[in-house]
Structure 1
């Protein structure tokens, strides 16, 4: 079994990005890309030279084949991606924007990925990995994917592996806000590193200040909480210290989707490379800033050399 640095699991979709600005129902031409929070992380880590793997199910269709081939081209291990003959691969439509957040419409209900279950868990694959990255998205897809996530989390904890958790809240996938908060926090409490956005942190904890949000999770046994503050950077806190790392200046924001996943790539890779927490968060800020300057979800993610050069050339004023 190949040794892996990081594995992750979730749903990937074919994404059709409008070629021109406007309401989605008025757009005639789209460009196909890959979408998925966990695939973004796997791709970002692979570009930095880490061995990453992604686990999921896709349909036996053109979209499923596209996803697997795209990930293989990014050097992401797909040996545990199962092909389902009974359910399709999901897809989404995404508007083109000149600034800010695009309009996104999902077509994912009943997808193959939503049928990923504990029966699909391959123990040896997880044993071969140093780290597990999770998001809150699989928790909302179906009862089966939530049970799969619970099993994967428990197994990796028992194996003594580190686990990172990004809430990546998708309120429309949940039956209620109360269920979303309860279940998401149950999983977050069992992770080593928790990385919410500031708005997510407020929603999940009821606190507004980053320090209080972080303390909420630290009191439950989490080792490190890193809170994304957008253009202001990020705040981090452990049981023994805390700090704020300023963000990188961006002249023009093209598309914000994928920035949070890019941030996770920087932090996870930094921690696995034994960087200080400050420097790992600095990497997260750097990749997040690169992500918002590119149109696709992961187009802006750098190689290790590109990341180093970007930080060195833009470090002035960042603390």
Structure 2
């Protein structure tokens, strides 16, 4: 039995190796396992927690690569379907040291975009403590969005299971900004803990102020009891339904290698902290630590630590 579960679209990532060079000019690439939700699964597993991943892959070399990578990272594959009809998604990503990278997706009409929600009926929720949800999977197709909503209904029929939700905005996957904002905010209202960033707050509710973002989501739905707003290098702002708030400072980084994966690393810290019974402040502090480690390594999840590495890093930094 796994204590953690998520659903998403894992991707074969071809990342350029020369920093701050456009994808047009880049000629050297390395292949990685990627995808926001799979990043979180890798991080959760690396810290010693059992994880299960739900998706659909194509019967192609990239699907085989992803399956092997999941097994190598000790991530459960009981709820992964494989099809000959559609292909496994992949992407090309620019390596950047500041800001957001250039990303080119090849995921339209992919296997995950044709995910069959009947697979979700096979999920055994016994032992599952937390499900992580992201705004990316429902963006890839109407079929995926329908399955995502169906999964939310299944989760809510098991009241002991907690949910985290990361907006993870990908405007290029949505038909319009209006549809993205409306859909993401409606899905967020179904989660217990929401993990937006200040940039996402500005897009989704019109403010970069962490407390205003937190208030918006705390009042957006009855199920939400905690909002943790990511404030970049400054750390994270926490506010709960009872009105309590706090700021957890971030970790200093001397050299940024790749900014992608920091937000997912933050989610790893929060999720594993909660699974271990840490306070929400200590869980967010762990999230800050893993996020800072993520930006110091290439690939989306290469910088996520083992238990020993995390303890050593936090002890050194603190």
Q: TM-score, normalised by structure 1?
A: 0.95
Partner of 2:40: 41
* Cα distance in 2 for residues equivalent to 1:151 and 1:127: 18
Deviation at 1:307, TM superposition (A): 1.0
* Cα distance in 2 for residues equivalent to 1:32 and 1:230: 27
Partner of 2:153: 154
Partner of 2:4: 6
Tell me the SS of whatever aligns to 1:295. coil
**Equivalent residues in 2 for 1:186-201, closer than 5 Å:** 186-201=186-201
Equivalent of 1:292 in 295, 310, 317: 295
**Equivalent residues in 2 for 1:1-319, closer than 5 Å:** 3-21=1-19, 22-160=21-159, 161-219=161-219, 220-221=221-222, 222-240=224-242, 241-315=244-318
Contact 2:17–2:28 (Cα < 8 Å) also in 1: yes
* Cα distance in 2 for residues equivalent to 1:101 and 1:46: 26
Tell me the SS of whatever aligns to 2:308. helix
Deviation at 1:90, TM superposition (A): 0.9
Tell me the SS of whatever aligns to 1:165. strand
Deviation at 1:99, TM superposition (A): 4.5
Deviation at 1:117, TM superposition (A): 2.6
- Closer/same/farther in 2, CA of residues 124 and 79 from structure 1, 3 Å limit: closer
Contact 2:266–2:288 (Cα < 8 Å) also in 1: yes
* Cα distance in 2 for residues equivalent to 1:116 and 1:127: 23
Residue deviations 1:76-109 (CA, integer Å, cap 9, x gap): 1112111111000011112233544332111111
Deviation at 1:29, TM superposition (A): 2.8
Equivalences, count: 313
Tell me the SS of whatever aligns to 2:17. strand
Q: TM-score, normalised by structure 2?
A: 0.95
Deviates further, 169-178 or 121-130: 121-130
- Closer/same/farther in 2, CA of residues 98 and 224 from structure 1, 3 Å limit: closer
Contact 1:63–1:89 (Cα < 8 Å) also in 2: yes
Contact 1:101–1:255 (Cα < 8 Å) also in 2: no
